[in-house]
């Protein structure tokens, strides 16, 4: 159904729609921020003030490693995390950076149906991000709205939810791209 590709160049395949979403909800900031604060505080206490952190303190080299992983790399990863959705004349392109090094391509000709809908990310797909559930695959960065696609390949039907903050515009762009493809 899809292939990992950048597709044709943007000159020959212009972008009709582009949305970039970051996972910047308050709850995500808290989930990321709490380990950051503890790792920096523990490292400061143990490495700079010389006071062992906790009842069973880790060695200094491990505290430095924890600081690097949870105080630097973990927040940098979440800060750089973004979902890019594009509609071009040949298909739908989705990329969850830095997890995907290239776009995931879903050809327009394989679309059986699509509709704008409100969904429950947790109940329907198990949360946000790249999810695989009983209702299909979901790419979702935040919110609870998106466009639900059904792709057909022979007798197989694949289901895909693309989360969007502006799902009506995404749906309109897909409609325009399909019209361009059938008329040209």
Mean pLDDT for all residues in the chain: 85
- The residues facing 87 across adjacent strands are 17, 92
How far is residue 12 from each of residues 9, 90, 106, 175, measured CA to CA in Å? 6, 10, 17, 19
Q: Work out the average pLDDT over 151-175.
A: 89
Confidence class for position 6, pLDDT limits 50, 70, 90: very low
More confident position, 27 or 142: 142
Q: Work out the average pLDDT over 129-138.
A: 88
pTM, 2 dp: 0.76
How far is residue 129 from each of residues 19, 37, 97, measured CA to CA in Å? 15, 24, 11
Structure confidence by residue, pLDDT tens digits, 40-97: 998 898 888 888 888 888 888 988 998 898 988 988 888 888 999 999 988 999 999 9
DSSP 33-82: HHHHHHHHHHHIIIIIS----SSSPPPHHHHHHHIIIIIIIHHHHHHH-E
Q: What tokens does 51 get?
A: 């006071």
Measured in whole angstroms, the distance separating CA 167 from the mean position of its chain's CA atoms is 15
pLDDT score for 184: 60
Q: Work out the average pLDDT over 131-153.
A: 90
Is a pLDDT exceeding 80 seen at residue 143?
A: yes
Is a pLDDT exceeding 50 seen at residue 1?
A: no
Burial of 101 (0-12, 13-18, 19+ CB in 10 A): exposed
Integer-rounded Cα radius of gyration of the chain: 21
More confident position, 5 or 71: 71
pLDDT score for 52: 86
Pairing of strands 145-153, 111-118: antiparallel
């Amino acid at each position: 159904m899809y292939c990992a590709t950048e597709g044709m160049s943007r000159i020959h395949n212009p972008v009709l729609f582009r949305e970039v979403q970051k996972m910047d909800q308050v709850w995500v900031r808290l989930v990321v921020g709490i380990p950051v604060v503890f790792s920096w505080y523990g490292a400061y206490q143990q490495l700079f003030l010389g006071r062992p952190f906790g009842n069973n303190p880790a060695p200094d080299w491990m505290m430095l490693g924890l600081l690097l992983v949870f105080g630097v790399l973990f927040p940098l990863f979440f800060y750089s995390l973004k979902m890019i959705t594009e509609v071009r004349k040949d298909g739908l392109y989705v990329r969850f950076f830095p997890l995907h090094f290239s776009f995931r391509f879903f050809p327009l000709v394989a679309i059986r149906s699509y509709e704008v809908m409100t969904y429950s990310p947790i109940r329907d797909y198990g949360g946000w991000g790249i999810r695989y559930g009983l209702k299909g695959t979901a790419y979702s960065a935040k919110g609870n709205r998106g466009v639900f696609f059904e792709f057909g390949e022979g007798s197989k039907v694949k289901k895909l939810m693309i989360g969007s903050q502006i799902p009506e515009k995404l749906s309109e762009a897909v409609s325009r791209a399909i019209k361009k493809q059938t008329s040209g």
